[in-house]
Structure 1
Amino acid sequence: MTAAPAPRIDADTLRRLPKAVLHDHLDGALRPATLVELAETAGHTLPVTDPEALAAWFREAAGSGDLVRYIATFEHTLAVMQTRESLLRTAEEYVLDLAADGVVYGEVRYAPELMLRGELTLPEVVEAVQEGLAAGMAKAAAAGTPVRVGTLLCGMRMFDRTREIAGLAVAYRDAGVVGFDIAGAEDGFPAADHLAAFEHLRAESVPFTIHAGEAHGLPSIHQALQVCGAQRIGHGVRITDDIPDLAAGKLGRLAAWVRDRRIALEMCPTSNLQTGAATSIAEHPVTALKDLGFRVTVNTDNRLVSGTTMTREMSLLVEEAGWTLDDLRTVTVNAVKSAFLPYDERVALIRDVVLPGYELAG
């Protein structure tokens, strides 16, 4: 007997579902109108100045299938994120956009070293972003849509300041910084080149994730986990290279390690399509990996650059990959379980916010 299809989840329900996002870049999440205004103030020339046309330009450039070109779009957002005032504004608006999207917990990442073209110091960059995030969280709570946002500081893997940025993450771990990451072009810039940063973080008990398994394959994931000691993997779509037959679910040793030790994969479906790491939403590895019991999470990566939201990512998975409400709850719980938060706070967030929200939707 053929099972009845799962009931369709309407757009309003999807928007209201409690969500958690672990992989999202602040400099890839500006509002188009804000970018236009800040660019005019900074004297920076944009490809177009109409906010809607600018948003379309980002989507087209990011959708080229070329990770290098995808990353190059950030020259425009970073150009306007070089002052205290611009960081305060973009951080506050980021939080309010999460709240409007139904996100109850988020981790936002950025590279402070890329925001020093003005006269800000590294600590001043971090403090401005934290102040903006705090203002956004206060406004969201006052509006009845509370959201908690932690920060990941990124070192750039093609430069030599990762140890310094790791020290910055340690210094601000009691002021809203919850972890560390390395970002930038993956292929040709191995994570192991930055072992000093990871050793310092481990010595100071600060968690970290590493971008791996997106533009480069299994060696990148292996190195991130077994050499550097990452607690999560950013993207990780290439872990399927170690599962020759996804349908049969026979895992290689690295894939088994990732699944059995509940290492979270921070998957970003739309972004992965844009960079060529996946071919379609319907065939994106996140579905097969979810069904095989991997701790997958769903993320936006870059809201402006990818033209997406958490609601949109979930909607695409429902419409094109057949996801159900149970699937969405699973990946949301996965994300909170893997958040760089104390255990008791994760448990409370799941028990008091996430699960009741899905029960109401069901």
Structure 2
Amino acid sequence: MRSPQYETIENGIPETRETIVSPTAVTTDTAKISQTSRRAVFPFTAIVGQEEMKLALLLNVIDPKIGGVMIMGDRGTGKSTTIRALADLLPEIEVIADDPFNSHPSDPELMSDGVRERMSLSEAIPVTRRKVQMIDLPLGATEDRVCGTIDIEKALAEGVKAFEPGLLAKANRGILYVDEVNLLDDHLVDVLLDSAASGWNTVEREGISIRHPARFVLVGSGNPEEGELRPQLLDRFGMHAEIRTVKEPSLRVKIVEQRTAFDQNPPEFLGEYQLSQEELQRRIVEAQERLSGINIDYDLRVKISQVCSELDVDGLRGDIVTNRAAKALAAFEGATEVTVDHIGRVITLCLRHRLRKDPLESIDSGNKVQKVFRQVFGLPEPDQN
């Protein structure tokens, strides 16, 4: 039986030091960490409820170009647990062994400039496999810690670009998680969203410019009681999931029992969910491979844009994200074409945070999206009973 996966967290940041030490030491240290002091991660398939959040996360993993997820909900609803479980669920990826940016061995868009230069010189480049990283961004992080720093003195003295990568470099081809993102400084949120949208991080200091790939799934979470993000920033997140505390007593009991069983004997609990974890992992990989072949009919695309227009959504991000999310859902469910059902299940996630809020309007933004969706697509109103 496959051994359970683990993670090490120190001060909220995964303990992988490849951005500081030499490349050879990085690979060795990471291997040592993976074999020793790491703790078990609650399995994704064992999480009860919160289907909206789980669906949004899965779709962003299948197609990272959707643009990330903003998860808003009550305290203690399993936001952090679910995101760590997703990162642990994902299959290993191939990376350049001695590169601090998790560069892809064959895709130029996911390679650092240094790796591309070595390839142009026909160097032998070692390749290894590594678990997808989930990087926690602490609220107190500085811009240098996030983006990386350039050692100006070394650059001037030795004539080399001495760059110490930051969290965006570690997060490349992984997941960047910002808890309480609504409390993060706006300029840092801007940096994260710009990097997530472009796929690159550029650092400029004293006339020296360095860039590296930074393509990651950005996941933010927060409690609406502690304040909302500015609409301009909220709009940049591809999807917006709202989660609530489970009210059903039987489900609450089940959640408590599962958590207790996991805490008492993690290996045994993980063994019970091993097959379902492997099955979900297989479906994600197949969906990623199938995604490029998914078709969405022209008439459906027109109706998606009509919904966005009637909801008075600013810009075209809503149209683009809804199309991508519907395709990702179709790929995940093994379909070859997007259906009205696929669109109906993702359109609320893609549009609810893009609506202009009217303080005098009592209707929930998600209900408003669904109402207009049913009108445009000619669907009957749901049975209130």
Structure showing greater Rg: 2
